[in-house]
Structure 1
Amino acid sequence: MSLRSLTSSRRIRDIFGNTTQLLRLVWQATPLYLVLSLIVTGVKALLPALMLVVNKAIVDLVIANWGNSDLDWQPFIDLVVMRFALSLLGGILNQVNLYVSQIFNDKFVLYANYVLLEKAIQLDLAHFESAEFYDTLSRAQSSGISYPQKVVKTITALFGQALTLVSLLGLLIQFNWTIVPLLFFTSLPSFWTSVIYSGRRYWMMRRETQAGRLSDYLKQVLTQQSFAKEVRLFNLGEHLLREWRGIRQDFNSKSAVIAERYAKMRGISGVLVSIGFYFAYGWTLVRTVAGQISVGDFTMYTGAFSQSQELLPAILQNIAQIYESNLYVSQFFEFLSLKPQVIDAVYAEPFPQPIRKGLVLQDVTFTYPGASKPTLCNLNLQIKPGESIALVGLNGAGKTTLLKLITRLYDVESGMITIDDIPLQNISLPELRNNIGVLNQDFARYQLSAKDNISFGNLTKRDNLALIEEAAINAGANRVIETLEEGYQAILGKMFKGGVELSGGQWQKIGMARAFMSNAPILILDEPTAALDAIAEYELFEKFRALTAGKMTFFVSHRFSTVQLADRIVVLENSRIVEVGSHQELMSNKGLYAQMFGLQASSYNL
């Protein structure tokens, strides 16, 4: 088999490649309105042929009674009423179809978005740290809602067009069966042109995914508040605007080349369609003049051929559209096919309540996907219940990575982390995370109410205002909220109307309050005081010991005044634990910790 025939058969197979999966998705979204849409389309599809039959009867009746003074008008009235009824039914079905289509579209868009977002929240953190993932997500978001709708609309239209064509061909076969292959052969070039150029445009769009994401990112930089200050201070506006425009113009140029070639081929195939129509028209005219068919037959057959001539290319064009849309829909299902790696065990165990033995790291090694060397290598450490651990080391030593492993945002590459001798992978994932309170340095700043920002730390207590206020007091966030006119109902950030922007330190207090909402036995604080001033930091750590009493606490900090509060300090260097001990023990060892402490202390003595 030749390469060309292989390519052709592959295109034909791909035309309906995702249709079964897509129809299943549509059925799950809105089965009732899918069925209603098909019924309305089916009934509408039969009207053109019925109208032609009635028109033929009227024309033949007029000619038969031409010049008849003693005319019986009842047959005329019956036919006109029948034609009016068909016309009225068509109008009613059009309005019903508009209503059904709108409801159908709304329901499907809601469901498709829900499915996409549901998949997004199931995926691992590793996915969101991959450029390839964002390409896949971008393609799914751009094509995952509009193109599935297009496929369903096109299939529904195709169903109606097929019924109409069958009814029209039934009329044409009465005239001469050779009309049918003439219709098909003159329409095929237009169909194949659409298939070929749809594929070319799809692959061009797919290759341009990353460039498209870059242009979208530059647009965000030019329009979002977080970049506005620097864009103006460094006069970046014109430069970034030129970069954005260059990317879009390059895309438009490539698109124009494909559009130009497509237009030429469509023009050529359109000539073939016209030749076919006028050949059949002339043939019908000759037979009518020869008296072989009536004038009514002439109007019916030419009308049927004319409508079929329009309908068949439209059907083939819709099939080509399904092919193109299926290419884009495949990107939606490509995203839905992604699988998380961090998942619950088949027989997950509950989180130990209370923790009796502690948390143990046994020869833990971890390498980020795509990295050439491990971020953590052969870590061994035992933490007792209620013990506080400070993680210290230079940037990139693996402190935050270790916390990600404890919370199972990633799974260890080798070795094991256990709580009371239970491997983390065997503990129910929701229970594990419910029992670990976390405040990251890059904590989320939700552009929602102050109440939401704090209560997200423990959704089960979202309506417990007393607990929310207590958490805010413990974090020092209550003084921030007291300055807001709407208090805990105030919208934070400037994204929505009436929102109030906070300083970095104020946001961090809100984030701390979120962490303190949790009654979890394990607390993780990654640079908890990075944005706080010296006074706020002192006040926070006055309460810190009381708030963390009885909890296993991990915190990362570059401020050694904070680090000294820990029961033990773990020092990481070059992916390994190099020192463990209290502040006094590590200072007397005169190792890396003592060196780092001395350098920081000397900066205060300048």
Structure 2
Amino acid sequence: MKRRFWVTLSTTPKLLRLVWQAAPRWLLVSVSATVVAALLPVAWLYINKLIIDALATSLSSQSIAWQSLALLVSLRFALAIFKAGLENLRPYIALVISDRFSLYANQQLLRQAIRLDLEHYESSQFHESLSRAMQSGSSYPVRAFNNFTMILGQLINLLGVLGLLLQFNPVMVGLLFLTSLPPLKIGVAYSNKGFSLMRKQTLNNRVASYFQGLLTQQQMAKEVRLYGLGSYLMEQWYRISREHHRKMSRLMLQRTSARFAVGLVPSLGFYGAYIWVIIQTVRSQITLGDFTMYAGAFSQSQSLLANLVENVSTAYEANLYVTQYLDFLELKPTITSPIQAVPFPPVLKTGICFQQVSFTYPQAERPTLRDINLTIYPGESVALVGVNGVGKTTLVKLLTRLYGPSTGRITIDGYALEAFDLDELRQQIAVLFQDFAHYKLSVAENIGLGDVAAMADRERIIQAARAAGADDWIQTLPNGYDTKLGNLFPKGQQLSGGQWQKLGLARAFMSRAPILILDEPTAAMDAIAEMELFERFKNLTQGRTTLFTSHRFSSVRLADRVIVLDQGRVLELGNHDELMQQDGLYAHMFRLQAEGYQL
């Protein structure tokens, strides 16, 4: 436990570095104010001693030194005013640092979340780490810093007081320190227990939050009511939450009992020292002024040690949580840019080539893609077809470097994807996934996010909407392109699934990237909207290398070539007529769908 104690507190320098980066000047002001505030009580004790000794001398000599007394009292009064001003100023300093650091800490966490790979987000362990980091990063770094400043002030104050006490009796100082160790040990032990319990409960808390979300999210509201799921889901949430609260309450009761028991030990040390000061005063070994100073010093030291022990325990506990935040910031992405990147070709010459590409998802036992070999030529439109789960979307993820191939390589104009700067590569590929995002922003922002640099170009936004067949109904909205969407915010408009998909398409068309990838681009559209879109398909994709997936063979026929995937492999390759003549899987699926329409 000793090793863990010091290892945990060793995160303090990293924490101070973060605070320095967030608010350097305010950190200096805070430390300076802490040091000054810590020295004031020592000065106060010493001035009180001088005043009492001056009074005793004056009374014994029957000659009152008014000038000296007036100077000492004035100095004490000045210290009182200064202390009052400092006490009013320090909460303001702490508030400013807390606000700035909280903003900075959350900003760092969000930057890290953006930087990490999709692979992280598809891992349950990552979500536990993210949940802990969000819980810890929101308040615990500020708590740890506040504890640090309090400990610093208390240490300086304590050192000053001990400097006075060492002149009296070093043994008494040792006694005070020894009697403060049991509370420290108990505090650290129960901090470890509380932290361990919290980590064990992370998954359960996430499950409870999930059930809570099912009861409160708009997209779940219909099924919860139609299937009468409310009571069942709430019972699941309550059962998990209640068990967590029971465990925490039991631990807090144990901690309170233990702290009360060991809290008697420091009191014994203090009263032993206090009795010894009285004995020395009665024996005339020290003056009355010395008595008031030493008695006050012993009282202050006991209070300081008690508070110091409490703050060290609290700092240790806060640092346990801060380590989770810092550990999250230390995570590294596996998909990165090379040190010296190759510029992306302004015009594709040889196209995109998959060479012996296989891929297995983390934790999966079987590969999703096996030995993929194919070339997509510049300006060509290629359709990917196959039953669910054959790897169509996975192939798109590899092309956009959301994942890297397990074996083989993917090239563009002969250069491996790993040779390009990651941001530049993704800027050259416009993608619409089947599970595309519904941004609860304005219509214009939903489209403009396809090219953030052109967000203010309203004409380009309108052109993209027209290309996706969305402009007509956008014009009918209350505020046109400035209409807010969804009901998360006031005056938001609800859209149908087909309308959202058209906005997603418009977002892809907003980009001027030479490579266009559309994953089930018409899945939520009605037959008329789909027909209108694919009537314009050749014009919309002209000059672009296009890859799209679809289960609707009416749209697949428009592709220059069709790639049929089966069990992670390329089974068939050719245009529609060629594949129909082969009478293989493609022809079989096409006929099945055609027969369904003929019914």
Partners of 1:25 and 1:72 in 2: CA distance? 54
Contact 1:15 1:322 in 2 (8 A): no
1:139 aligns with 2:146: no
Name the aligned partner's letter for residue 29 of structure 1: A
Match of 1:324 in 2: 317
Match of 1:206 in 2: 199
Task: Give the stretch that moved more between structures: 287-296 or 104-113.
Answer: 287-296
Contact 2:450 2:510 in 1 (8 A): yes
Q: 2:426 aligns with which of 425, 433, 450?
A: 433
Q: 1:123 aligns with which of 87, 98, 116?
A: 116
Q: How far does residue 313 in structure 1 lie from its aligned partner after superposition?
A: 2.3
Partners of 1:599 and 1:75 in 2: CA distance? 109
TM-score of the pair, normalised by structure 1 = 0.96
Partners of 2:213 and 2:51 in 1: CA distance? 64
Task: Give the stretch that moved more between structures: 185-194 or 482-491.
Answer: 482-491
Q: What SS is found at the alignment partner of 1:347?
A: coil
Q: How far does residue 73 in structure 1 lie from its aligned partner after superposition?
A: 3.5
Name the aligned partner's letter for residue 383 of structure 1: I
Contact 1:457 1:515 in 2 (8 A): yes
CA distances 1:354-391 after superposition (whole Å, capped 9, x unpaired): 10111111111111111101100001111111111110
Match of 2:476 in 1: 483
Q: What SS is found at the alignment partner of 2:261?
A: helix
Contact 1:187 1:269 in 2 (8 A): no
Name the aligned partner's letter for residue 605 of structure 1: Q
1:550 aligns with 2:543: yes
1:228 aligns with 2:182: no
Q: 2:289 aligns with which of 265, 280, 296?
A: 296
Name the aligned partner's letter for residue 318 of structure 1: N
Q: 1:411 aligns with which of 404, 412, 433?
A: 404
Match of 1:586 in 2: 579
Contact 2:357 2:405 in 1 (8 A): yes
Partners of 1:119 and 1:12 in 2: CA distance? 28
1:446 aligns with 2:439: yes
1:36 aligns with 2:29: yes
1:184 aligns with 2:211: no
1:459 aligns with 2:458: no
Task: Kindly report which structure 2 residues correspond to 1:362-441, keeping only aligned pairs within 5 A, or say none.
Answer: 362-441=355-434
Partners of 2:500 and 2:8 in 1: CA distance? 52
Q: How far does residue 65 in structure 1 lie from its aligned partner after superposition?
A: 4.3
Q: How far does residue 57 in structure 1 lie from its aligned partner after superposition?
A: 2.6
CA distances 1:328-369 after superposition (whole Å, capped 9, x unpaired): 111111111111111112221111121011111111111111
Q: How far does residue 67 in structure 1 lie from its aligned partner after superposition?
A: 9.8
Q: 2:351 aligns with which of 358, 375, 394?
A: 358
Q: How far does residue 255 in structure 1 lie from its aligned partner after superposition?
A: 1.4
Task: Give the stretch that moved more between structures: 177-186 or 146-155.
Answer: 146-155
CA distances 1:503-552 after superposition (whole Å, capped 9, x unpaired): 11111111111011111111100000011111111111111111101211
Contact 2:8 2:323 in 1 (8 A): no
Partners of 1:296 and 1:360 in 2: CA distance? 91
Partners of 2:232 and 2:52 in 1: CA distance? 71
Give structure 2 stretches of 5+ with no counterpart: none
Task: Kindly report which structure 2 residues correspond to 1:483-562, keeping only aligned pairs within 5 A, or say none.
Answer: 483-562=476-555
Match of 1:218 in 2: 211
Partners of 1:498 and 1:42 in 2: CA distance? 53
Q: How far does residue 64 in structure 1 lie from its aligned partner after superposition?
A: 4.2
Match of 2:265 in 1: 272
Partners of 1:170 and 1:105 in 2: CA distance? 33
Give structure 1 stretches of 5+ with no counterpart: 1-6
Match of 2:250 in 1: 257
Partners of 2:395 and 2:84 in 1: CA distance? 67
Task: Give the stretch that moved more between structures: 519-528 or 151-160.
Answer: 151-160
Q: How far does residue 63 in structure 1 lie from its aligned partner after superposition?
A: 4.0
Q: How far does residue 223 in structure 1 lie from its aligned partner after superposition?
A: 1.5
Q: What SS is found at the alignment partner of 1:145?
A: helix
Distance 1:70 1:307, change over 3 A: closer
Partners of 1:281 and 1:480 in 2: CA distance? 85
Name the aligned partner's letter for residue 93 of structure 1: L
Q: How far does residue 82 in structure 1 lie from its aligned partner after superposition?
A: 1.5
1:23 aligns with 2:16: yes
Partners of 1:301 and 1:71 in 2: CA distance? 25
Match of 1:239 in 2: 232
CA distances 1:388-414 after superposition (whole Å, capped 9, x unpaired): 111000000100001111111111111
Match of 1:165 in 2: 158
Partners of 2:427 and 2:247 in 1: CA distance? 51
CA distances 1:195-228 after superposition (whole Å, capped 9, x unpaired): 1111111111111111111111222222221212
Partners of 1:486 and 1:84 in 2: CA distance? 66
Q: How far does residue 29 in structure 1 lie from its aligned partner after superposition?
A: 1.7
Match of 1:50 in 2: 43
Contact 1:14 1:326 in 2 (8 A): no
Contact 2:55 2:64 in 1 (8 A): no
Partners of 2:329 and 2:239 in 1: CA distance? 33
Contact 1:15 1:319 in 2 (8 A): no
Partners of 1:245 and 1:202 in 2: CA distance? 22
Name the aligned partner's letter for residue 74 of structure 1: Q
1:248 aligns with 2:228: no
Match of 2:299 in 1: 306
Match of 1:155 in 2: 148
Q: What SS is found at the alignment partner of 2:357?
A: strand
Match of 1:566 in 2: 559
Name the aligned partner's letter for residue 249 of structure 1: R
Partners of 2:146 and 2:110 in 1: CA distance? 23
What root-mean-square deviation, in Å, do the aligned CA atoms of Structure 1 and Structure 2 show? 1.5
Match of 2:90 in 1: 97
TM-score of the pair, normalised by structure 2 = 0.97
Partners of 2:4 and 2:270 in 1: CA distance? 28
Name the aligned partner's letter for residue 310 of structure 2: Q
Name the aligned partner's letter for residue 417 of structure 1: I
Task: Give the stretch that moved more between structures: 401-410 or 313-322.
Answer: 313-322
Partners of 1:177 and 1:346 in 2: CA distance? 61
Task: Kindly report which structure 2 residues correspond to 1:1-12, keeping only aligned pairs within 5 A, or say none.
Answer: 7-8=1-2, 10-12=3-5
Match of 1:4 in 2: none
Name the aligned partner's letter for residue 287 of structure 2: S
CA distances 1:166-192 after superposition (whole Å, capped 9, x unpaired): 111111122211111011011100001
Partners of 2:547 and 2:4 in 1: CA distance? 57
Q: What SS is found at the alignment partner of 1:492?
A: coil
Distance 1:23 1:72, change over 3 A: closer
Partners of 2:77 and 2:114 in 1: CA distance? 56
Q: How far does residue 95 in structure 1 lie from its aligned partner after superposition?
A: 2.2
Contact 1:288 1:295 in 2 (8 A): yes
Q: What SS is found at the alignment partner of 1:187?
A: helix
Partners of 1:50 and 1:521 in 2: CA distance? 74
Q: What SS is found at the alignment partner of 1:362?
A: strand
Name the aligned partner's letter for residue 48 of structure 2: N
Partners of 2:48 and 2:221 in 1: CA distance? 68
Partners of 1:252 and 1:57 in 2: CA distance? 55
Q: What SS is found at the alignment partner of 1:456?
A: helix
Distance 1:101 1:533, change over 3 A: same
1:339 aligns with 2:329: no
CA distances 1:256-312 after superposition (whole Å, capped 9, x unpaired): 222222122211211111111111111112222233222222221111101100101
Match of 2:569 in 1: 576
Partners of 2:10 and 2:153 in 1: CA distance? 21
Partners of 1:61 and 1:346 in 2: CA distance? 75
